[in-house]
Structure 1
Amino acid sequence: MAIGPSAVERWPELSTQELRAQVAKLVSARLPGDHAVWQAVRRHPALVARIRGVLSGLAASAAGSKDEAMQKVWISKARQALDVTTPAPVRTARKPVAKEVPAAAEDEAPDRVLDFAQPEPQKQPPKVIPTMLFQEPS
């Protein structure tokens, strides 16, 4: 079975052993997190959970092998690809809108009225500062 977005649609029906083989191929392919295959995987929450379990099994089976460090790097990249969320669309500042003035009010009002509505600034969550513990020398 090939690795592609259309093949991922059939992965929920695979047995654990077959899924493990497919995930091992996917991990060794080292695809970027925004690749179409990862996007197809993220559309199935139950499949994401199964793949996390398979990745844990792959990490455990790689322990003690000569390629352990490389495998763990690839597995961590795969886990990060599962966590990628699609970014929200960026809101741009609106341009001033020219409003038409009715014909009756033309004498006392200017030709156009410009509306400079400012969008609300997006609030970002505060940065998390890790806690540091210090021990006295003994």
Structure 2
Amino acid sequence: MAIGPSAVERWLDLSTEELRAQVTRLVSARLPGDHAVWQAIRRHPSLVPRIRGVLSGLAATATGSKDEAMQRVWISNARAALDQVVPPPVKAVKKPVVEEVPAEEPERAIELREPEPAQQRQPHKAIPSMLFQEPS
């Protein structure tokens, strides 16, 4: 049986052993949490606890094997993918059409302050050179 969103629908009718084989393949595939397969699994509330149980069984059987660390990482990623909450898509709201009316040009405010005088730059003063004498 293939791993895909359409195959997840059939997982509801699988026996525990068959589901375990499918979940083992799914965990080994290391799919990201937003993948379509995980989304299809999260849509079935009765399938999520069964898969959690299978993941616990896989973690228990991985104990003591040479690939225990790797399998534990994959299983924890699968559990995180089950827990991931994806917000529902937001429906686009049509904005009302607003007729543009030509706006009258606003009167310009008369500035009562005097403009600040531009700072006059003073020429750099020459720094006198210093002579240092060596102590005798």
Q: TM-score scaled to structure 2, two decimals?
A: 0.66
Offset, 1:86: 1.1
Offset, 1:21: 0.2
- Structure 2: where are the runs of 5+ without partners? 104-136
Change (3 A) 1:24 1:88: same
| 1:62-101 to 2 correspondences below 5 Å | 62-87=62-87, 98=98
1:66-102: CA deviation from partner (whole Å, max 9, x where unpaired): 10000000000000000111125579xxx9x85899x
2:16 aligned partner: 16
Determine whether 1:54 maps to 2:54: yes
CA distance in 2, matches of 1:23, 1:46: 15
Q: Which amino acid aligns with 1:51?
A: I
Q: Which amino acid aligns with 1:35?
A: H
Offset, 1:37: 0.5
Identity level (%): 79
> Greater RCO between the two (CA within 8 Å, min separation 6)?
2
CA distance in 2, matches of 1:7, 1:88: 22
Aligned length: 102
Report the RMSD for the aligned CA atoms in angstroms.
2.7
2:35 aligned partner: 35
CA distance in 1, matches of 2:25, 2:39: 17
Q: Which amino acid aligns with 1:70?
A: M
Runs of 4+ displaced beyond 6 Å: none
Greater strand content: 1
1:134 aligned partner: none
Q: Which amino acid aligns with 2:26?
A: L
- Structure 1: where are the runs of 5+ without partners? 102-110, 112-138
CA distance in 2, matches of 1:39, 1:6: 11
CA distance in 2, matches of 1:33, 1:14: 23
